[in-house]
Amino acid sequence: DTGVSQDPRHKITKRGQNVTFRCDPISEHNRLYWYRQTLGQGPEFLTYFQNEAQLEKSRLLSDRFSAERPKGSFSTLEIQRTEQGDSAMYLCASSFSRGKSGANVLTFGAGSRLTVL
């Protein structure tokens, strides 16, 4: 048990459908991150939250993607009008960090694998 839970673990959908992934971080962690990983590549940063505030979004996060962390606890990542290029593993990570320069160690979940047909 990694402490970071993601649901669902696998999702198969048809092109054009909307999908939503959920992440439950380690309870005392104030930061939550979303990454995307495709086969043979390292994880790519999508966005991150400190508490409920979304502090940064990558250029990879097109307007079809939206992430929320409404109460500073769990987070959702929604992809609208999915495309085949969205097929990937979506990883969530969390950490606890004080301030901008504090040590920041991310703990990752098992990921949600998306297949768009």
Partner 1 sequence: AQSVSQHNHHVILSEAASLELGCNYSYGGTVNLFWYVQYPGQHLQLLLKYFSGDPLVKGIKGFEAEFIKSKFSFNLRKPSVQWSDTAEYFCAVILDTGRRALTFGSGTRLQVQP
**Of the candidate residues 28, 40, 53, 98, the single one contacting partner 1 (CB under 8 A):** 40
Question: Is the four-CA dihedral 63, 66, 20, 48 of positive or negative sign?
Answer: positive
Q: Are 68 and 51 in contact (CB under 8 A)?
A: no
26 binds partner 1 per the rule CB under 8 A: no
Q: How far is CA 76 from each of CA 33, 52, 72, 81, rounded to the nearest angstrom?
A: 11, 12, 11, 16
2 binds partner 1 per the rule CB under 8 A: yes
53 binds partner 1 per the rule CB under 8 A: no
Binding site for partner 1 (CB under 8 A): 2, 31, 33, 40-45, 48, 55-56, 91, 93, 97, 100-101, 103-111
